[in-house]
Amino acid sequence: MAGSSIGTIFKITTWGESHGEAVGVVIDGCPAGLPLSEELIQPFMDRRKPGQTDYATKRNEADRVKILSGVFEGKTTGTPISMMVENTSQRSHDYSQIASCYRPGHADFTFDSKYGFRDYRGGGRSSGRETIGRVAAGAVAILFLNRLGISFTTFTRALGPVSLKDEDFTPSLLGMTPTGIPHDGLNAEAEEYLKTCMANMDSAGGIVECRVEGLPVGLGDPVFEKLDANLAKALVSMGAVKAFEVGEGIQAAGRTGSQNNDGFSLQEGKITKRTNHSGGTLGGMSDGSPLILRAYIKPTPSIFSPQQTVTRDKEEVTINIKGRHDPVIVPRAIVVVEAMTAITLMDALLLNMTARMDSIIDFYQK
């Protein structure tokens, strides 16, 4: 079915396989008049680029984004923005093993079962390269939201057993450490852990956190289109994300109401929550507090130690995965989490404009 699009007003459609000609995205529904260029998007692409640290693959992916439509004289025109990145560096090597064997933790088996066959070169459509389109579209959403005073802080909250406490959060180190943990000591600890994983031919997972400030109150709708519900879908739609949390959602399940409720107060004449256990939503709508999301990312399934599996032809075999694989995808996933969050928020923000009769009359009668 048509599963490669997300969004209602701001709608994106990604396309492309890891070893095809290119990967890309079409954004439909971006408002006209947003300043946009390849130069403004490229920094976001660079944040997901591999080959930057010891813990990401050594492939030299240039990943230069090209805008093919929807921008004129430096601004979006309101028509679809088509963006593309060529698959220049994909080596054509021997895929006979993964063509016939089902790699544990990968989608090989489910692809073959669903579609009858699959593009077995690299991860095909389930490759991490699919996220290039998400990041390019997310960049547009972030640039848009920034213009409205909305800002993002996204980082590694945990990597394997190493976890960042709030008091250790170091703003100046955001995006500056190889593991994405904004703290020198904890980053070093996590690097040690990753080295051990690599030595063991193993891999690691972790938690990415995204905080959004400056959101207006009321984004999201009270029933199925709750803001947190759509964010849950957006983040769990990332390949390796297996759990989602808004605010202190997991701990909240063990608390009492008096511990978990956020009372209200007045701050400079503005209604404000005294605490933010809820993570920025109430009843599925943004509540003016910072939005706080967490994506739980499983360890990279491609590991170099031998694993037991079966072939397409139903033989039990031992597989030894070769090639270039990140021992952890968490640092590269940071910008993808931010992108998916921004895409979801931008759509909610546009949809929210139609909530009230009085605003609509204002809009059309001014």
260 within 8 A of 200, measured Cβ to Cβ: no
In one-letter notation, the amino acid at residue 166 is: D
3-state SS assignment for residue 62: coil
User: Which residues, in sequence order, are bridge partners of residue 252?
Assistant: none
Site for its own copies in 129-168 (CB under 8 A): 130, 144, 147-149, 158, 160-161
Contact call for residue 245 and its own copies (CB under 8 A): yes
Contact call for residue 290 and its own copies (CB under 8 A): no
For residue 56 the two structure tokens come to 């990401």
CB of 13 to its own copies, least distance (A): 5
Site for its own copies in 183-242 (CB under 8 A): 197, 200, 202-207, 216-218, 220-226, 228-237, 239, 241-242
DSSP state of 183: S
164 or 197, CB closer to its own copies?
A: 197
CB of 172 to its own copies, least distance (A): 26
In one-letter notation, the amino acid at residue 309 is: T
Site for its own copies in 97-116 (CB under 8 A): 102, 104-107, 109-111, 113-116
212 or 231, CB closer to its own copies?
A: 231
90 within 8 A of 80, measured Cβ to Cβ: no
Q: Given candidates 5, 60, 88, 320, which one binds its own copies under the rule CB under 8 A?
A: 5
50 or 122, CB closer to its own copies?
A: 122
Q: What's the angle, vertex CA 132, arms to CA 130 and CA 138, rounded to 5?
A: 115
Q: Given candidates 39, 166, 167, 358, which one binds its own copies under the rule CB under 8 A?
A: 358
CB of 139 to its own copies, least distance (A): 16
Residues in the chain: 366
Listed ranges 39-47, 164-172, 179-187, 267-275: which one lies at the site for its own copies (CB under 8 A): 267-275
DSSP state of 4: S
14 or 154, CB closer to its own copies?
A: 14
Contact call for residue 126 and its own copies (CB under 8 A): yes
For residue 129 the two structure tokens come to 């390269």
In one-letter notation, the amino acid at residue 68 is: L
CB of 89 to its own copies, least distance (A): 17
Site for its own copies in 28-87 (CB under 8 A): 28-29, 31-34, 66-70, 72-73, 75-82, 84
343 within 8 A of 169, measured Cβ to Cβ: no
CB of 44 to its own copies, least distance (A): 19
CB of 123 to its own copies, least distance (A): 9
- Give the position of tokens 């010891």: 54
Contact call for residue 24 and its own copies (CB under 8 A): yes
CB of 151 to its own copies, least distance (A): 15
172 or 295, CB closer to its own copies?
A: 295
CB of 10 to its own copies, least distance (A): 7
130 within 8 A of 36, measured Cβ to Cβ: no
Helix (H) or strand (E) holding 206: strand 206-213
Distance (Å) of CA 329 to CA 78, 160, 206, 221, 291:
34, 11, 9, 33, 24
62 or 172, CB closer to its own copies?
A: 62
180 within 8 A of 135, measured Cβ to Cβ: no
138 or 206, CB closer to its own copies?
A: 206
Q: What's the angle, vertex CA 257, arms to CA 256 and CA 258, rounded to 5?
A: 95
The whole-angstrom separation of Cα 64 and Cα 62 is: 6
CB of 295 to its own copies, least distance (A): 9
User: Which residues, in sequence order, are bridge partners of residue 316?
Assistant: 310
For residue 356 the two structure tokens come to 């009230």
Listed ranges 49-57, 170-178, 179-187, 304-312: which one lies at the site for its own copies (CB under 8 A): 304-312
